[in-house]
Amino acid sequence: MATVTPTRSTLGQALSRRRSSPLPALLIGLGLVITVAFAILGYLESQRTEPVTVLLRDIPYGQQITAEDIGTITLPLHRPAQLAGIGDPAAVVGRYAARDLGANDVVQPAMLLDEPPVQPVFPNGQALTPNMVPLPFPTLSIGPLTHRDRVNIGYSDESGAPDLCDRARSAAAGERPTVAVAGSPLSQPRPYACRLISSLRVLYVDDAAGVAYLEVSPYQAHAIRALQAAGLELWGERYGASSEELPALDRLDIGQVTLDRLTVPVAVPSE
């Protein structure tokens, strides 16, 4: 019977213990060290601060800011953009308030003017365009309104006198005005509504007073005052800033309403 004699190499391998590689443990340790290092650096970075300028008192629009009006506070270096602020008080002193500013406000560049204002500015920061005037208009007939909207203004005439709107529109277009002729529909004037002006800019809305301040030309303001003096009812419409401008002095009475124009879909502008 044959016997198997193990070789020396086989016996040595069986009797010796296998050595494990230290590389995985080294990699894990290195990863832990890097993680802890980044955590420490992140914590230290989050604790960094810097000074920013704040207002110590209310500053009305247009007033020059003095050193007594401001102070500094310390804020985290990494903070929301709304709190970015101005770090150097010297960059604030001597400049002018771009709108009504409140105490404890963090001073932002948009709050400041380099020169004293030459045009009126409303509390929301909207400035009146040169050669234009603000027109106070009640918002009761308009509903909710913001300064990002536009407003159309019209009036209603219960007497139906055509010359109040129809004649003015025809004259503006270089046409002969409509004249009431016996036996014609205009011989019995009907009450009508007239859209006077379209797409007026909203400067500011005073919700407490129920008044919107609209930007109009002096002549437009004069025309509206004339309508008020005539005792005509004014009305307004909320309109979009990107909507098409509607025809001025657009007169319509109930006898002029047509079904096709009443039901035609309004074209939506393509983007």
Segment among 37-46, 53-62, 101-110, 248-257 with least mean pLDDT = 37-46
Q: What pLDDT score was predicted for residue 191?
A: 87
Over 70: is that where the pLDDT of 19 sits? no
Is the full-model pTM beyond 0.75? no
pLDDT of 117 reads 83
Say how far apart CA 234 and CA 217 lie, in whole Å.
Answer: 18
Three-state DSSP class for 180? coil
Alpha helices in the chain (DSSP H): 8-15, 23-46, 166-172, 218-229, 259-263
Specify the amino acid at residue 240: G
Nearest to 237 by CA among 135, 136, 149, 133: 149
* Digit-coded pLDDT (tens) for 211-226: 999 999 999 999 999 9
Least confident of 51-65, 177-191, 195-209, 238-252: 177-191
Q: With left for phi above 0 and alpha for psi between -120 and 50, is residue 116 left, alpha or beta?
A: beta
- Is the confidence at residue 270, as pLDDT, over 90? no
Cα angle, residue 118 at apex, residues 112 and 119 outer, rounded to 5°:
90
Give the rounded percent of residues in the chain with a pLDDT score beyond 70.
76
pLDDT per residue as tens digits for the range 225-267: 999 999 999 999 999 998 999 998 888 888 788 888 888 887 7
Q: How high is the pLDDT of residue 232? A: 93
Domains of the chain with bracketed CATH? 49-113 (3.90.1210.10), 133-258 (no CATH)
Q: Grade residue 172 by pLDDT with cuts at 50, 70 and 90.
A: low
Segment 53-83, tens digit of pLDDT: 899 999 888 889 999 999 988 888 666 766 7
User: What's the pLDDT tens digit per position in 129-164?
Assistant: 999 999 999 998 898 999 999 999 999 988 876 555
CB atoms within 10 A of CB 91: 13
DSSP structural state of residue 105: P
Contact 132, 215 (CB under 8 A): yes
- Look at residue 196 and tell me whether its pLDDT is greater than 70: yes
What's at 259, amino acid-wise? L
pLDDT score at 212: 96
Mean pLDDT of 111-137: 89
> Which carries the bigger pLDDT value, residue 270 or residue 202?
202
Helices (H), 133-264: 166-172, 218-229, 259-263
Report which residue type is found at 39: A
For residues 3-9, give the mean pLDDT.
55
Under DSSP, the state recorded for 139 is S
Evaluate if residue 179 carries a pLDDT over 70: no
Q: What's residue 181's pLDDT? A: 46
Bridge partners (DSSP) of residue 74 are 51
Q: Which residues of 205-234 are buried (b: 16+ CB within 10 A; e: fewer)?
A: beeeeebbbbbbeeebbebbeebeeeebee
